[in-house]
Each structure stands twice: as C-alpha cells, then as structure tokens.
C-alpha cells in the first residue's frame, strides 16, 4: 500500500476494528499504539468477549441489540475462533423470579428445562431447573481475537506502530481516527470511566461450551469458557474511575459466582485478577464525533467486542465520504 490516508490512534478493539474495516474497503491506513505491545493499555484486553446482543438487551438500551446483531457475522468473518454456541442464563432456584424479569426485557431466547440444560452443558446436569437459552449468540477469546485482527492487518501491509500515540494533532497529515478510549478524555470531556473487574481461573474438572450468566439480585456475573480449561469470570460494573487492583469484595463475589455455578470451581487455579476502566459516554452508547480532520470513535462501554464492528462501519462510511474526491482512485475500487 502507498502512504496511509488515514491514521488510527489506539490499537484496542475499536482501533483494530476500524483499521480492519477500512482496509477491507481498500483505504490505506496505519495504526498507532502508545504502548509497546498489543493489549498492554487496552481495556478490551480485559473484556469478556461475549457477542450477546440479546442478553445485553435485558439491561441496556434496545439499540445495543440492534447495532450489535450484525457484529456476530463480522467477527465470524474476521476471527475464525469465534464460537457460535449461544449463551445460557441461569439463577439459583431461590431467585427464579429474576429469570422471568430478565426474559421480560429481551427476546430471541428459549425457556429450557433441566434436561435441556444437561444436554447443552453436561457438567451442569442436575444443578439448575430452568434457564434461558439464547441460541443465536456467540463468544470469542478477546486477546486472541485482537491478535488475529492485528495479524490480519500486518498480512495486508498495514503498519501497526507501537510506542507512538499521543493526541491526534501529533499524528499524520491525513485524516485521523481517534480510538484512544478513555485516554481521549482530553478532547471528550463527557467521557467517563466505568470500572470492571475480572478473574481468570483454570480447572480441568468443569467444562462449558458457552458463556453462562448467573443472575443474582445484586451481583450478576458471567463465566466465559476460554478453552483449555480456562474460564474468565466477570464483571462488576462500578461507577468508579479508580485504577487500583481488584478489591477483596469483588474477588469474593466473582469467586462465589463460579462456586455457585459448580463447586468444582472451588479447586480451580487463579490465573489472573484484573481491573480496568471502560470508556463511556453519558448515554452508555458509542458515538463518533468530528473535530476538524479528527474523527473521535469512542464510548464502547462494556460492549467493546459487540459494538466495535458497528463503530468501525460508521467510521469507514464517514472516511469514504470524506475521501470520495481525494486522489485515491485505486483504493476506492480495490
């Protein structure tokens, strides 16, 4: 490719998806990342990786489901490791009403009984009587998915320049897409951080084929299988911008959820405990804003993987509109 037309700042899920979508459409891009390695300062590194528009629908704006639905296909096309096994929502029998509440707020699910739960997830046999099954949902391993996008870009000659970031004016002379997440606060004052905490454990004693959400009146949590006996457990949502390590209470809640789902998690090894801040606008929805030659694409909140493809399509549309008259005909029809 020739000299880049568009510089993208930030190689988290937003920046990587934007770069991929633009490259797909034949636009020459470069990607700048302030940290030295992929994922080092990206909150998507800590994500759950659920592509669960209808589960999310139960607790967020319905627009999240609408914008997120096409993402499942986008990821299947761009990351072969995407797992399309649906997802499961459970409660302990005592909190059964929460399952009904959850169901009333969303769609695209089936009520299933204990036998069906056992058929889907043999290790949960006999442990739960009712569940909601969302057959159309999917999940992925965020770190592998990010690495796969990065590798795909490199294979197409898109440079990812690590150790270079900073504010948009320092970037190249062409159009700039600012995907810095919370670091873009200097230019997006209404951006706030919403803290999330996660836990990774390893055990050979339990196996799951799909993400399981455990509803709880106060501490709703999910467990996502990452393969090879590794499970990610998330995620708290705290209106806090503190970057300190996971608190004992949060760790207890996360561990307790795993233990409730299956006591064998009690013997699992703790691999990682982490916390980060999700960049969020006041309506908890992503958006794209324009200042001069900079497009700010931000605010993915807890829907990084679910909504990054939508964000990327919007950015690509805007960039193509912008560069329609520019001197890059070979890219336009590539």
Partner 1 sequence: MSSFYGVELKSRLLLGTSRYPSPAVLERAVKASGAEVVTVSLRRESGTGRAGQAFWSLIQSMGVRVLPNTAGCHSVKEAVTTAHMARELFDTPWIKLEVIGEADTLQPDVFGLVEAARILSEEGFEVFPYTTEDLVVAERLVEAGCRVLMPWGAPIGSARGLNNVYGLRSMRAHFPEIPLVVDAGLGVPSHAAAAMELGYDAVLLNTAVAEAGDPVEMARAFALGVEAGRAAYLARPMEPRDMAVPSTPVIGKAALGD
Residues lying near partner 1 in the complex (CB under 8 A) are found at 59-61, 101, 104-105, 192-195, 217, 238-242, 244, 247, 249-250, 282-285
Helix and strand numbers, DSSP H then E, in the chain: 9, 16
- Give the DSSP H or E segment for 130: strand 130-134
Among residues 44 and 60, whose Cβ is nearest to partner 1? 60
Least distance to partner 1, CB of residue 301, Å: 8
Question: What does the buried/exposed string (b/e) look like for 32-58 if buried means 16 or more CB atoms within 10 Å of the residue's CB?
Answer: bbbeeebbebbbbbbbbbbbbbbbbbb
* Nearest distance from C-beta of residue 231 to partner 1, angstroms: 23
- How far apart are CB 250 and partner 1 at their closest, in Å? 7
CB of 105 to partner 1, least distance (A): 6
- Which is nearer to partner 1, 251 or 264 (by Cβ)? 251
Of 243 and 290, which CB lies nearer to partner 1 in the complex structure?
243
CA distance 62 to 65: 5
Nearer to partner 1, 147 or 251 (CB): 251
Q: Tally the residues of the chain.
A: 334
- Of 98 and 121, the one with the shorter C-beta distance to partner 1 is 98
Smallest separation (angstroms) from partner 1 to the CB of 169: 25
- Cα distance between residue 6 and residue 291, in whole Å: 15
């Amino acid at each position: 490719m020739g000299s880049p037309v568009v510089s993208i700042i930030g190689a988290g899920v937003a920046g990587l998806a934007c770069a991929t979508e633009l490259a797909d459409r034949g636009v020459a891009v470069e990607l700048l990342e302030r940290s030295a390695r992929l994922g080092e300062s990206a909150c998507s590194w800590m994500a759950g990786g659920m592509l669960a528009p209808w589960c999310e629908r139960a607790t967020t704006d319905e627009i999240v489901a609408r914008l997120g639905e096409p993402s499942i296909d986008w990821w299947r096309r761009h990351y072969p490791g995407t797992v399309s096994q649906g997802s499961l929502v459970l409660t302990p029998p005592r909190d059964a009403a929460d399952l009904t509440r959850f169901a009333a707020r969303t769609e695209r699910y089936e009520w299933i009984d204990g036998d069906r739960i056992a058929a889907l997830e043999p290790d949960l046999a006999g442990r739960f009587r009712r569940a909601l099954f969302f057959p159309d949902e999917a999940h992925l391993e965020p770190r592998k998915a990010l690495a796969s996008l990065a590798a795909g870009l490199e294979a197409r000659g898109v440079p990812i320049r690590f150790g270079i970031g900073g504010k948009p004016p320092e970037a190249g002379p062409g159009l700039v897409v600012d995907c810095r997440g919370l670091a873009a606060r200097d230019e997006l004052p209404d951006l706030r951080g919403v803290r999330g905490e996660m836990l990774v454990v390893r055990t050979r004693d339990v196996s799951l084929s799909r993400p399981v959400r455990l509803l709880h009146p106060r501490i709703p949590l999910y467990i996502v299988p990452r393969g090879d006996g590794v499970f990610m457990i998330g995620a708290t949502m705290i209106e806090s911008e503190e970057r300190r390590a996971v608190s004992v209470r949060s760790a207890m809640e996360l561990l307790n959820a795993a233990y409730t789902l299956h006591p064998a998690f009690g013997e699992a090894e703790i691999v990682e405990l982490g916390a980060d801040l999700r960049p969020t606008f006041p309506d908890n929805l992503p958006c794209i804003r324009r200042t001069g030659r900079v497009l700010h694409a931000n605010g993915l909140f807890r829907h990084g993987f679910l909504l990054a493809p939508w964000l990327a399509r919007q950015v690509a549309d805007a960039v193509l509109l912008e560069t329609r008259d520019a001197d890059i005909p070979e890219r336009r029809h590539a």
